[in-house]
């Protein structure tokens, strides 16, 4: 039953009662597992371009930028960095006062190597009238950590990753957001303008704007560009209802409880952006300047493959629209769809000519993405697969383990045979051959969300995540996978990851 108070909350969020009913129904039925054809590997869905081909695609991308097309870099930056400091929070509440675990010992043994060391030292002096060195000598390790994490100190425990200092350059240090400013200038500038878009949480937006106000001019002078930096927040309309153990709406003090729908909600933010090509990369996957050349080369490679493929697809759509096509041209289109875009349908041979051309038109006229894939080195997370879609076609998809039926021996073997891992390294084309924007939510497979179990104030709660941004939210896109070197994937999951050689 929806009360008047419930209705007011739904109206405020922009969520319909029908959506809530649909979500509650899904809590009962669950999401179906995806049927796999197999893991995508080199020669079977993952490209491994030769050096000669790489040069061609790099040139293609440089030409595309020079032609003044609209390019934008999209960085999901909403999440708080609290998980980065999980081990340090545990140290604060531990019943011992000196570093004991390997993590704690490593943190303090190398504390001077962190880009935020100078700021932390100054904060300790301000709040404790002692430097880090002095506090450590007196065994007051927890005071150092407290000044790093607490809001009375640097507040790193509550800030988003984008606002944390990651890398040191002489007397200067850069946040991860600033490293994206630099990357944008190196591979996503057109007409001397770099467009950056960060998705942020409402309580951090002002801090991001402050960072831009302070540092934008510095990078504009450094790279002789102008920055056009914008922000958006996850829309409340993408929140999902929480359910109790009986799949009824979870309520607290009588009020419905909603939760953010996960990164899949950002398909709405992406849909609001007007650009020809959009780069997507996570906020914490950045490296210092000395290691950027590989990142820049492979970002340009992905983009070059994208615009090269898009050009061919647009030519095919123009031919289809003209109505003047030969049998040979239709055969060529089928080969391109099956071999270059890895989209196959066993029923294609039984289609009448008219239905066949309509099928080709529908499959070509979709958003397109080229995704970098790194060799699997045991990182948790999704990877590239060939999977069946609801219309009976097989296509390339990025899947998470939760979408695969691990109780099915064949599916489990396919998952375990995966050779590549998804580092979230995408370049997207979101306009059609007439220059019109695709409506991206139309291309989401709504059956690819997942349900997780949480607890709130001691009560069990079921939460629903929307189809992931690069998973089910882009399920019905034309997709190409390209192998990129592991050096282009350097995420920061814990604070001690910043001590790795690649971040020094």
Count of CB atoms situated within 10 Å of the CB of 87: 17
CA 33 to chain centre: 22
Helix (H, G, I), strand (E, B) or coil at 33: coil
* SS3 at position 429: strand
Determine the topology of domain 35-81+162-503 in CATH: Spore Coat Polysaccharide Biosynthesis Protein SpsA; Chain A (3.90.550)
Contact (Cβ atoms closer than 8 angstroms) between residue 174 and residue 165: yes
Beta carbons within 8 Å of 110's beta carbon, 6+ residues apart = 499
**What's the distance, Cα to Cα, between the start and end of the chain in Å?**
57
**Model pLDDT, residue 101:** 97
Tokens of 474: 């882009």
CB-based contact 37:399 (threshold 8 Å): no
Residue with tokens 């000395």: 290
Identify the H or E element spanning 174: strand 172-175
Sequence ranges of the domains in the chain: 35-81+162-503, 82-158
The DSSP 8-state label assigned to residue 284 in this structure reads T
Phi, psi of 171 (to 5 degrees): -90, 0
Residue with tokens 């994206």: 180
pLDDT at 187: 97
Sign of the CA dihedral 395, 396, 400, 405?
A: positive
In angstroms, rounded to a whole number, what is the distance separating the alpha carbons of residues 125 and 235?
Answer: 41
In our burial notation (b when 16+ CB lie closer than 10 A, e otherwise), range 226-237 reads: ebebebbebbbe
In which element (H, E) is residue 75 found? strand 71-76
Q: Are 88 and 156 in contact (CB under 8 A)?
A: no
Check residue 85 and give its pLDDT. 97
Give the residue ranges of the chain where pLDDT is below 50: none
In whole angstroms, what is the distance from residue 492 CA to residue 502 CA? 11
Q: Which residues pair with 429 in a beta bridge?
A: 277, 368
For residues 122 and 277, what is the distance between their CA atoms, to the nearest angstrom?
A: 43
């Amino acid at each position: 039953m929806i009360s008047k108070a419930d209705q007011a909350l739904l109206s405020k969020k922009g969520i319909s009662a029908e959506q809530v009913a649909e979500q509650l129904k899904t809590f009962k039925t669950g999401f179906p597992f995806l049927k796999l054809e197999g893991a995508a590997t080199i020669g079977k869905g993952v490209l491994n371009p030769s050096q000669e081909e790489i040069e061609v695609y790099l040139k293609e991308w440089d030409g595309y930028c020079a032609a003044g097309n609209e390019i934008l870099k999209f960085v999901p930056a909403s999440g708080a960095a609290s998980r980065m400091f999980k081990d340090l929070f545990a140290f604060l509440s531990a019943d011992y006062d000196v570093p004991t675990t390997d993590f704690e010992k490593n943190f303090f043994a190398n504390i001077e190597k962190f880009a935020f060391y100078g700021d932390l030292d100054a904060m300790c002096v301000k709040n404790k009238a002692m430097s880090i060195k002095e506090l450590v000598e007196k065994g007051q390790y927890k005071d150092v950590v407290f000044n790093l994490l607490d809001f009375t100190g640097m507040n790193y425990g509550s800030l988003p990753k984008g606002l944390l200092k990651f890398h040191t350059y002489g007397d200067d240090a850069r946040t991860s957001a600033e490293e994206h400013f630099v990357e944008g200038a190196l591979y996503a500038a057109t007409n001397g303008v770099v467009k950056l878009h960060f998705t942020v949480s409402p309580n951090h937006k002002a801090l991001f704007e402050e960072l831009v106000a302070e540092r934008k001019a510095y990078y504009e002078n450094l790279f002789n560009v102008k920055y056009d930096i914008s922000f958006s927040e996850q829309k409340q309309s993408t929140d999902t209802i929480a359910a109790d153990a009986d799949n009824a709406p979870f309520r607290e003090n009588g009020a419905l409880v909603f939760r953010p729908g996960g990164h899949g909600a950002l398909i709405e933010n992406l849909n609001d952006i007007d650009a020809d090509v959009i780069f997507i990369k996570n906020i914490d996957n950045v490296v210092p300047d000395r290691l950027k050349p590989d990142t820049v080369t492979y970002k340009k490679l992905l983009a070059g493959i994208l615009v090269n493929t898009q050009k061919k697809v647009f030519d095919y759509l123009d031919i289809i629209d003209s109505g003047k096509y030969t049998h040979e041209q239709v055969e060529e289109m089928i080969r391109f769809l099956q071999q270059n875009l890895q989209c196959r349908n066993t029923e294609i041979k039984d289609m009448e000519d008219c239905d066949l051309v309509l099928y080709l038109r529908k499959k070509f006229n979709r958003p397109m993405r080229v995704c970098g894939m790194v060799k699997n080195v045991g990182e948790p997370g999704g990877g590239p697969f060939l999977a069946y879609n609801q219309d009976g076609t097989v296509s390339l998809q990025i899947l998470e383990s939760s979408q695969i039926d691990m109780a099915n021996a064949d599916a489990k073997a396919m998952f375990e045979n995966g050779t590549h891992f998804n580092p979230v390294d995408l370049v997207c084309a979101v306009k059609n051959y007439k220059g019109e924007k695709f409506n991206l939510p139309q291309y989401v497979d709504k059956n690819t969300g997942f349900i997780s179990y949480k607890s709130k104030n001691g009560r069990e709660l079921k939460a629903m995540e929307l189809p992931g941004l690069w998973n089910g939210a882009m399920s019905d896109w034309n997709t190409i996978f390209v192998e990129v070197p592991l050096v282009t994937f350097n995420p920061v999951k814990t604070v001690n990851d910043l001590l790795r050689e690649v971040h020094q």
